[in-house]
Structures are given as C-alpha cells and as structure tokens.
Amino acid sequence: MKRILCIWLSLLACSYAAGLSFPEVLKEIHAPADAKTVAAEFTFSNKTDKPITVREYNSTCSCMAVKISENKLRYAPGETGTIRAEFDMGNFSGDVDKVIALWLDGDPAEKPSVSLTVRVHIPVLIQLEPKTLKWDLGGQADSQTIRIQMNHSKPIKITATHCSSKAFAQELKTVEEGKSYDLVVTPLDIKTPGLAIIRIETDCDLDKHRIQQAFAVVRKPTAAEAAAKP
C-alpha cells in the first residue's frame, strides 16, 4: 500500500512540474490483436501567471512518434495544449511501456520537467514459456522445453521451426493440434559459449503474430546464479 501511495504521489508531483498541469501522466490502451498503430493524447494547461515555453519533447523509442498541438511551444497563462503519441506496434506483444520526456525552458538536459507514459496492452496470441533457454558453460547438457500455447480464437498450427546454430538440436512435439506444442531443445556443445535464435513459423491469420522467436544460450552463470546453487 505504501509503495502504491509513493507512486501516486510521484505521478501527482510530476503532473504539475514547472507549472504545466497534466490531468494524466499515464495512458493505458488495450489494443486489438490486429492493430498496426495506436495513439494516445495527453492534454495540459498553463496554470501559472507567467508564459511557459516547451524547449524540447521526444519519445525514448523510435517506435513512437510524438507531436504537440499545432507545433506550438509557448503557452500563455491559462492556455492549453495536447501532446499526441502514435505507437507503431510492429511485433510487440504483451504489456509495453513507452515514455515521452518534456523539457521546459531552464530544465537541465538530464532532467525533463515531465515524463508521460503510454502503456499498451497487446494480446499475446502465441505464448512462449520461457522465451529464453539457458545452460551453464561446462554444466549439464540436459534438454529443456519451450511450451507454446495458442491464445487465438482460431487454431494456430506450427508449420516449421528453424535454429540459427547447429550447436542446438530441436524437436517439436504436438500436445494438441492448433492449441499447444512443446519445443524440446538440447545443446550439443556445453563447453563453448553459444547463442541461437529459434524461429517458429505458424499459419496465424494475422501477419504480425505469424512468426515468433525464442533463444537458446550457453553462458557462464552470473555470480547470483552460482551462489544460489546447492
């Protein structure tokens, strides 16, 4: 509860930073599975008795374009404006946060006055669990499994799988056709560091979801992982 209160207070403080008032600094969008782009708008107003100039605004990701209403940067007392963000969904899925930073005159380069967040909830039609398989360098070359679950309203069949490295063997097992699959991956060389991209091709009727990627890696365990082992 205390953590939630702290987050709320920080958002509230941010929304009134330097005199520009933003009723909302977080916008949540539930996107349809076939959407290619989604947009969010943040309104704001100058509630001070002095003009305020927006020096700079941008997104932290090239996948999101940001515009300010009429390209207007200076706001007199009482004036309002809108920042519009358009997010190119590409191959994103799941919950995605993208941030817009806003600098006013006098802000240091490393500290914008306002940070706005666009949170997009994108349906996961093909769920991979886990997406990354890991083996310890010099450890046991045991097989591991990626469980693939289809969450679409229609069946989705896996048509092919490809591995970018010959250092890993793979075997696809059908649990329920069009619904559930197991992809069993086995490293053939555990003494050498390695990374492979596993491409999973399906007959999904939505292009952006049709091809999925998983990863297999042989690497030295982190200090925390090593310490956690019995």
pLDDT of residue 10: 42
List domains and CATH numbers for the chain.
Answer: 18-122 (2.60.40.10), 126-224 (2.60.40.10)
158-207 confidence digits (pLDDT tens): 999 999 999 999 999 999 999 999 999 999 989 999 999 999 999 999 99
What whole-number distance in Å separates Cα of residue 190 and Cα of residue 135?
8
- Given a cut of 90, whether residue 14 has pLDDT beyond it is no
Q: What pLDDT score does 222 carry?
A: 80
User: What's the mean pLDDT in 115-131?
Assistant: 96
pLDDT > 70? residue 12: no
Q: Is the pLDDT of residue 93 over 80?
A: yes
The answer for residues whose C-beta is within 8 angstroms of residue 9's C-beta and 6 or more apart is none
Question: For residue range 49-67, what is the model confidence (pLDDT) as tens digits?
Answer: 999 999 999 998 999 999 9
Give 207-213 contacts, CB < 8 A, sequence gap 24+: 208/34, 208/36, 208/89, 208/90, 208/91, 209/33, 209/93, 209/125, 209/126, 209/152, 212/126, 212/128, 213/131
Question: How far, in Å, CA of 70 to CA of 53, rounded?
Answer: 14
* CA-closest candidate to residue 58, choices 121, 11, 112, 119: 112
Does 73 have pLDDT greater than 90? yes
Token readout for 91 is 């191959």
CA distance 76 to 47: 9
Q: What confidence tier does 78 reach under pLDDT thresholds 50, 70, 90?
A: very high
Query: What φ, ψ does residue 53 adopt, rounded to 5°?
Result: -115, 130
Residue from 102, 26, 28, 19 nearest 59 by CA: 102
